[in-house]
Each structure stands twice: as structure tokens, then as C-alpha cells.
Amino acid sequence: MSDERRFWRAGAAAVALAALSGLAQQARAEPSVTLLPLGFEVTEFRGPGSRLATVLSSSDALRGERLAPDQKVIAVWGKTGGAALTLAGRELRTVPLGPSIADAAERETARSAIPGSRLQAAGPLTAYLSDSTEDYRHGVLGDAVEAKAVSIVERQPVAIGPDPKPVPTRTAKVPAGDTAVFEDLEPRLADLDGDGAPEIVVVKSSSERGSSLAVIGRREGAWAIVAETPPIGQPNRWLNPAAIADFDGDGKTDIALVRTPHLDGVLQLWTFDRGRLALRHEAAGYSNHALGSTALDNAAAVDLDGDGRPELVIPTLDRTALAVLSLKGGVKEIRRIALPARVLRGVAALGAGKDAHLLAALEDGRVALVRP
């Protein structure tokens, strides 16, 4: 065989090998979807940012797991069982909890909060929805009860001494307004302006103009609504926050939300900049809520490609698939992952990059594990 023929045969073999290698890598890159063998039907789901997951991670129920101080936990439970989901190295670990999850769940609601709502806490600050009313009978969250105010409780400094003393607190209330309510179940605490103190993000609704996103902050010592998106413009039109993070890497905190998730599902990205909310990008076709459900946390911010900026994982409009979105310079759908049933009760992420585990609680009571 001539040297020339050997050269071309070797070249062809190399090309074929490279093609097969590329196909193998592509096959490995395909997302996998499996159902967790929990042994009970899941009716409640709390992601790592929830008050319940925070309480649970330091509880006696998980003491034997030796969790790292910042290790994330997801809580799931139903009538016949409960479990904590966390990572053990690169593998998902399921820790059965039994009745202890019910005891922990009682600690996520304040006594004077509206029914079904959940408090949130950050440092000395606790916030919850209060002052129930039935004046705004929309029922998007399953009943006619909404909140007229957000209550904010702050622990005050106490002098250190030989005798134990009760920790003093100061409570403030921020009203929604005369013809408005807070149509929400959980205030979201996040430092939007980078001053080290959290603001509070909540959904405000008007009987005449529908919903807007409100930011509550402390200015000159008093708590008040300091910024607000324009209302949707029609009564009984609602929006649901999806995630809060710096999605585009510009150093400013962004808020992703879905306007009218039961209609056209417009995903919007707002940035809190110099005390105002500015709309950056939007795209239709996504939903993070089922009409009448109390489950609001159906999206997650997680860095999947390792560039230091999170992607947004959110259900499609019909909630039969998870969409992975890049929000860097616009809304770009990277991939769509079909699920065995509709998302209903929650979406959350454990880990990041190649170690990311996405969990979706489905309407049939099962939990899907997605490796994107």
C-alpha cells in the first residue's frame, strides 16, 4: 500500500473516531429524568431557601447526617410520610423524617399571619403577611383571604449579663393601601441594593388594575413600599415571582417573575437599580403556578454551565416540561426537558454545574429528579 493511501485511510479513521466520540459526548449530555422512590404521595414541597428547610437542616432529625453549615436541604412530605433531600458528595440522598416534619412545618407560620402563609427570616428580621381580608375575592391562591399588610419583626440588641433576658423586638406594619391587598403567601427577603440589609419582595394587587411587584425597604428608619412595577392593568390579573439573583453578571440584583402565569405566561426580568425597578427582558410561554394552588416556588436559579452566572429553570406554559433559560442579554431557551406529569408543588436545585440536581414535585404526587 502506498504511503498516500495509508495517509488517507488514517485520516478517515481519525475523522470517524472523532465523530463517534462527539456522538458519545452528545449522548452523555442528554438530560436524564427519574422518579424518586419515596413511598408516599408528596403534597408539600419546600426548597432550600424556605424557612422550613433552614430550620430542618439544623434540627435533631438531620443531626446524624453531619451536614455542612451551608448545605442545602429540600423538604417534602404528605399524609403518610416525609423526607429531606440533600446531596452526599455528588449523589442525592433521601433521609426519611416521619412525623418530625409536621413539627418543623408548624414553625414556618406566624400566629398572626393569614391562613396558609409562610414567614421568612434573615438575621434579626422576620416578615410575614398579616391582617387578613376578603375584600379582594380573586381566589388565585385557593381561597378569598388576602393580606392587608406585611408585618416586620426585628430583634433588638440585648445587653450581655449574668442573668438570661428576653430578646426585645420591634414590630412594624406596611399596609398595601386602601384598595389593594398583598396577594401572596410568602414575603421574599433579599438584599437588592447591596447595603447589607434585606428588602422584602411581595405581590401587591389592586381591585382595579391587577397585580404589581412591590419592594418594601427601610428608608430613614421607617419601613415602606419603596419601588413597584407598573400594575398589569386589569383586575384579577396576577403575577408570581420566580427567582432573585444576578442573572446577567452586572453586579445588580435581578428579579425574575411570570406575569399572568395562567394565560400567556410572560417571563419578565426586572433589575432593582438606584431605588427603582427597571424592566430588562421579557418572553412569553412560561408558568410557575397552577390556578388555585398554594405552591408558589416553581422555579430555581442555578449555575448549570459553570460561568458564575445562574440560569433560570422554570416550567413551560403547560407545565409539562422544564425550560432552562439564560437571561444574559435577553431570554434564551437553552433546552427543554419533558417530564412524566405536570409540575405543581415546587421546583428546586441542589448542587451546580455538572453536579446539579433539579427536583420537580409533580401534580400526581411524585418527585422527578432531573440531571440536566
Are the C-beta atoms of residues 174 and 204 closer than 8 Å to each other? Answer: no
What is the model's pTM? 0.89
pLDDT digit string (tens) for 233-246? 999 999 999 999 99
Q: What average pLDDT score do residues 20-27 get?
A: 45
Residues paired with residue 216 on neighbouring β-strands, in sequence order: 200, 225
10 Å CB burial of residue 285 (0-12, 13-18, 19+) is middle
Domain assignments of the chain as residue spans, ordered by start: 114-237
Q: What average pLDDT score do residues 173-182 get?
A: 96
Angle at 354 between CA 241 and CA 338, to 5 degrees: 55
Write the CA distances from 348 to 56, 243, 311, integer angstroms: 16, 11, 13
Average pLDDT, the chain: 90
pLDDT digit string (tens) for 56-112? 887 777 877 778 778 899 999 999 999 999 998 899 999 998 777 877 788 888 999
**pLDDT value of residue 1:** 52
Window from 17-31, 125-139, 324-338, 355-369 with minimum mean pLDDT? 17-31
Q: Work out the pLDDT band at 20, boundaries 50, 70, 90.
A: very low
**pLDDT value of residue 70:** 80
Are the C-beta atoms of residues 52 and 104 closer than 8 Å to each other? Answer: yes
pLDDT above 60 (res 247) = yes
Give me the percent of the chain exceeding a pLDDT of 90: 76
**pLDDT value of residue 67:** 80
10 Å CB burial of residue 106 (0-12, 13-18, 19+) is exposed
Are the C-beta atoms of residues 56 and 62 closer than 8 Å to each other? Answer: yes
Buried b (16+ CB within 10 A) or exposed e, 244-256: bbbbbeeebbbbb
